[in-house]
Amino acid sequence: MPRVVFTSNLQRHVAVPEREVNGATVAEALAAVFAQSPQVRDYVVDEQGHLRKHVVIYIDGKRIVDRQRLSDAVGPRSEICVFQALSGG
Amino acid sequence: MSDRLYVATRKGLFTIERKGGRWSALPPALLGDPVTAVLPDRRDGTLYAALNLGHFGVKMRRSKDGGKTWEEHASPAYPPQPENAPGSPWKLDQIWVMETGGADEPGVLWAGTNPGGLFRSRDGGDNWSLMRGLWDRPERAEWSGGGYDLPGMHSICVDPRDSRRLTVAVSTGGVWQTRDGGETWDCRASGMFALYMPPERQNDPNVQDVHRMVACRSKPDVMWVQHHNAMFRSTDAASSWQEIKEPALSNFGFAVAVDPNDAETAWFVPAIKDELRVPVNGELAVTRTRDGGRTFEVLREGLPPAPAFDLIYRHGLDIDAEGERLAIGSTTGGLWISDNRGDSWQCVSAHLPPIYAVRFA
């Protein structure tokens, strides 16, 4: 199962422990996180479901390409890092 | 007079209290977070703060104990964006202003946002709905950014005689009014002019860049506007606007306040002009009219002399409910309070973070 890790800066606002979830894409993996912790959704994606402008996601160290539908594939042993983009200050 | 002032800054919410004849700051709340709007609800004592977290978006906080403890509550959210929808993306970028509904509407809150949508909550911020009657107007496609990339609603005036009558202002998108609680809207910026537009569009009400609009509590048909290239006043509830022909120092600025008990008295904080947004002659000054805008006094006692580069932004000027005490907060972190309607000012701090809004409790 892919592992999802969140920036510690987000922990200041909402608890998001590292966790392993089911999913073959970023969208599926995040959906599993949001199902467990609904309050996290609004911090990561906007109301249109797009990745927030100043949030960035890496899969095994590679930045995702599809920031709208979050369709980038993740492998069963992938690590998905949800970080802050420095463009956000 | 109000002995408590809330100061929304780029790095937290500061509460300033007067005790023993002195103003002093309590420990800051929400330290480090940009607070773009603050609203003390005088109906039930709840304090609301809108955050714009650099990475994680707009978040709402409210406090039931005057700012000691806070809880998160729902943020306004735009509905799904239809394909090929004209205008700005349907995404909440910022809460620019919050106001309470009327005294007869406990729990009703209004939020003006970038990109220009107006939201209403009927339950103290647990749920919000976009006022589609205004959002769906075709004129919105012509609204533009003014100060920010996206159009923004910065002023909401609820008529104390009839809570269903709201007048709002958009930068840039003119002045809009509803008389049925937000279902239908009319553009009401007739008489304003926009020198930054081509000649044939300068009188178009929908392109007017109102920087800030306020209404007199005791005489709500009288409204005052600081506009991008002029100051205006209306005496007929925004049906028509008249230019203030002879302002003091400059006709450019962002903030305006009106005496809640005297519609003839208003305050402005001028800057030089559009392309030079600093105080005139480098001296911070407030101007006051007591005759409906015919003449102005320049008030400087207690404000910094040159070189001072404090700019008072849209929500950086407030007057208390009694109409006696004023506060101004600057984009360079200066905060001043006047106990005598602007005659003289006391510096509370010159070292706060950039100030977005000041608001008396």
Does B128 fall in a domain? yes
Residues facing residue A83 across a β-bridge? A56
Distance from CA of A37 to the nearest CA of B (A): 15
Does B357 fall in a domain? no
pLDDT in the model for residue B74: 96
Interface of B with A (CB under 8 A): 53-57, 59, 72, 75, 77-81, 89-92
For chain B, what is the domain count? 1
Amino acid at B280: V
pLDDT tens over chain B, length 361 residues: 889 999 999 999 999 999 988 999 999 999 999 999 999 999 999 999 999 998 999 999 999 999 999 999 999 999 999 999 988 899 999 999 999 999 999 999 999 999 999 999 999 999 999 999 999 999 999 999 988 889 999 999 999 999 999 999 999 999 999 999 999 999 999 999 999 999 999 999 999 999 999 999 999 999 999 999 999 999 999 999 999 999 999 999 999 999 999 999 999 999 988 888 889 899 999 999 999 999 999 999 999 999 999 999 999 999 999 999 999 999 999 999 999 999 999 999 999 999 999 999 9
Tokens 């005057």 locate to B66
Question: How many CA atoms lie less than 13 Å away from B82 in the CB half-sphere?
Answer: 5
- Torsion of Cα atoms, B27 then B30 then B31 then B35, to 10°: -120
Does B68 fall in a domain? no
Q: Are B231 and B256 in contact (CB under 8 A)?
A: yes
pLDDT in the model for residue B267: 98
pLDDT in the model for residue A87: 79
Cis-peptide, bond into residue B115, ω within 30° of zero:
yes
Q: Is the pLDDT of residue A24 over 90?
A: yes
Does B37 fall in a domain? no
Q: What three-state secondary structure class fits A38? A: helix
Q: What is the DSSP letter of A87?
A: G
Average pLDDT over residues A32-39: 95
How many residue pairs from chains A and B have C-beta atoms closer than 8 A? 49
Q: Do B78 and A9 touch (CB under 8 A)?
A: no
Chain A residues 14-73 with CB within 8 Å of chain B: 39, 42-44, 46-48, 50, 52, 54-55
Does B358 fall in a domain? no
Closest Cα to residue B280, out of B267, B290, B271? B271
pLDDT in the model for residue B276: 86
From the options 3.50.50.60, 3.10.20.30, 3.40.50.720, 3.30.565.10, give the CATH code of A3-88. 3.10.20.30
CATH code (residue B222) = 2.130.10.10
What domain range includes position B102?
82-349
What is the ipTM metric for this complex? 0.90
Burial class (CB in 10 A: 0-12, 13-18, 19+), B262: middle
Q: Are B26 and B352 in contact (CB under 8 A)?
A: no
Does B23 fall in a domain? no
Does B278 fall in a domain? yes
d(CA B173, CA B147): 13
Does B240 fall in a domain? yes
Q: Tell me the chain A residues in contact with residue B89 when contact means C-beta distances shorter than 8 Å.
A: 48
d(CA B98, CA B109): 7
pLDDT, tens digit (0-9, with 9 covering 90-100), for A40-81 = 999 999 999 999 999 999 999 999 999 999 999 999 999 999
